[in-house]
Amino acid sequence: MLPVITLIGRPNVGKSTLFNRLTRTRDALVADFPGLTRDRQYGVGRIGPGPYVVVDTGGIGTAAEGVEALMERQVQLAIDEADHLLFLVDTKDGCTPEDMEIAQRLRRLGKPISLVVNKSDTMDPLLAVADFHQLGLDEPNAVSATQGLGVRDLIEHVFSRLPDSASPDTEQELSGIKVAVVGRPNAGKSTLINRLLGEERLVTFDSPGTTRDSIFIPFERLESRYTLIDTAGLRRRARVQDVIEKFSVIKTLQAIEAANVVILVIDAHAGIGEQDATLAGHIIESGRALVVAINKWDGMDPEQRNQVRAQFSRKLAFLDFAKLHLVSALHGSGVGLLLDEVDGAYANATRNLATPELTRLLEAAVMEHQPPLVKGRRIKLRYAHQGGRNPPVIVIHGNQTDAVPETYRRYLINRFRKELNLSGTPLRLEFKSGA
């Protein structure tokens, strides 16, 4: 599973700026489910040696709440889930009494911590860090979150200190198609997983000897093998009443990243909310294949069903490549077919695309609709080949490809998708300019 790197520090030291820099997203998955505090952000960081989950804990030790807030339960949960803590301080403020207090508390946790001296663009980095040695943490890392200075080095440093268990070496042991079932709390994930596995499976799985943290559940159907990645805290379910403990954004992001195919479960009764859209955005960004399960379809009248369909195509229009699948996890209707969709999405996501066919499709697309002129010269797109699978990547070679407008990129993606019948998976284009 992806390692978890958690940002801590006083307000205004630059946590959310660093978060945005690491995740390169403005659309962070903010935990605004009922019962969760609003100000924590989660994203997948892609700067550095490998992907990781980044958590911005928000207002730790705010002046209003005092440093005591550090021990607040929410923050404690975030820290518990972290593999590595980044403690941010602000070189413009120097080392403050609050920094001292936070450092003292963090040291007691016994977690790996890196001290990050931010805003070091405002002075000589050597001077910037000098004041912070008194915090008694390891060598300070000077960075500038706004300019991106020192950020890659920082993440490399963090990776060099991650325990081996946090690296994804379980990969080989997992067999078949890896399927993550994700969705907001109460969407019906646990019920669906129960259905998919059948009750007996769970009993076996619950037996003593299986480790509590094992969230990979292998199973077979017909001739196919799958590994379900559980985000719902299935086995602890009986004991856990609390939505906060049952649902983990971190586990959700980790599961998406570890999967080949994601099943996004949406609660038809609750309608499609902002969180569904944000989750969908994360799935797209990860490049994983996607099957959408609209759950709780039972007991809805035709009018309500139409409303849900309309809402889906309006709010999640960018998921037009994924098939809508209507299920009732509770009654089991539609659930069998869901795995057929998973098979189909996986097959498309991993299909081999032949260079001559891709090039022919590119030529036809260009013929029908030419790319625009740039500074009086037409953008030339010459040939295409496959550059990756799950998600499929199509590499297009030509001239002035940097200038290909977003609308034209979209046109090509839609063309390729349609002609190649690539439903159920995001599709990526990369452009390369020749001499």
Q: Does 13 bind ligand GDP (CB under 6 A)?
A: yes
15-23, 61-69, 154-162, 414-422 -> range binding ligand GDP (CB under 6 A): 15-23
Q: Does 16 bind ligand GDP (CB under 6 A)?
A: yes
Which of 330, 342, 338 minimizes the C-alpha distance to 195?
330
Cβ distance to ligand GDP smaller for residue 56 or 257: 56
- 59 carries a ligand binding annotation: yes
Q: Does 283 bind ligand GDP (CB under 6 A)?
A: no
Q: Does 14 bind ligand GDP (CB under 6 A)?
A: yes
Q: Where are the alpha helices (DSSP H) in 287-354?
A: 302-315, 335-349
- 328 carries a ligand binding annotation: no
Rounded-to-5 percentages of helix, strand, coil across the chain: 40, 20, 40
Cβ distance to ligand GDP smaller for residue 112 or 185: 185
Cβ distance to ligand GDP smaller for residue 11 or 112: 11
- 224 carries a ligand binding annotation: no
Separation CA 228–CA 3 (nearest Å): 20
Q: Does 186 bind ligand GDP (CB under 6 A)?
A: yes
Q: Does 17 bind ligand GDP (CB under 6 A)?
A: yes
Q: Does 140 bind ligand GDP (CB under 6 A)?
A: no
- 13 carries a ligand binding annotation: yes
Determine contact, residues 309/324, Cβ cutoff 8 Å.
yes
Handedness of CA 234, 235, 240, 241 (dihedral sign): positive
End-to-end CA distance of the chain: 41
- The correct pick among 43, 125, 150, 183 for binding ligand GDP (CB under 6 A) is 183
- Burial of 228: CB neighbours in 10 Å, binned 0-12, 13-18, 19+: buried
Q: Does 417 bind ligand GDP (CB under 6 A)?
A: no
Q: Does 150 bind ligand GDP (CB under 6 A)?
A: no
The structure tokens 């349609």 sit at: 418
Query: 42 in helix, strand or coil?
Result: strand
Cβ distance to ligand GDP smaller for residue 10 or 288: 10
Cβ distance to ligand GDP smaller for residue 257 or 267: 267
- Phi and psi for 378 in degrees, rounded to 5? -80, 140
Q: Where are the alpha helices (DSSP H) in 329-420?
A: 335-349, 355-368, 406-420
CB of 65 to ligand GDP, least distance (A): 14
Report how far apart, in Å, the C-alpha atoms of 114 and of each of 3, 15, 19, 125, 317 are.
15, 14, 15, 16, 41
Q: Is the peptide bond before 391 cis (omega within 30 degrees of 0)?
A: yes
Cβ distance to ligand GDP smaller for residue 121 or 340: 121
CB of 416 to ligand GDP, least distance (A): 34
Separation CA 81–CA 233 (nearest Å): 14
- 56 carries a ligand binding annotation: yes
- 9 carries a ligand binding annotation: yes
Cβ distance to ligand GDP smaller for residue 168 or 332: 332
- 145 carries a ligand binding annotation: no
- Interacting residues with ligand GDP (CB under 6 A): 9, 11-17, 118-119, 121-122, 144-146, 183, 185-191, 232, 295-296, 298-299, 328-330
Q: Which residue ranges are tagged as binding site for GTP?
A: 9-16, 56-60, 118-121, 183-190, 230-234, 295-298
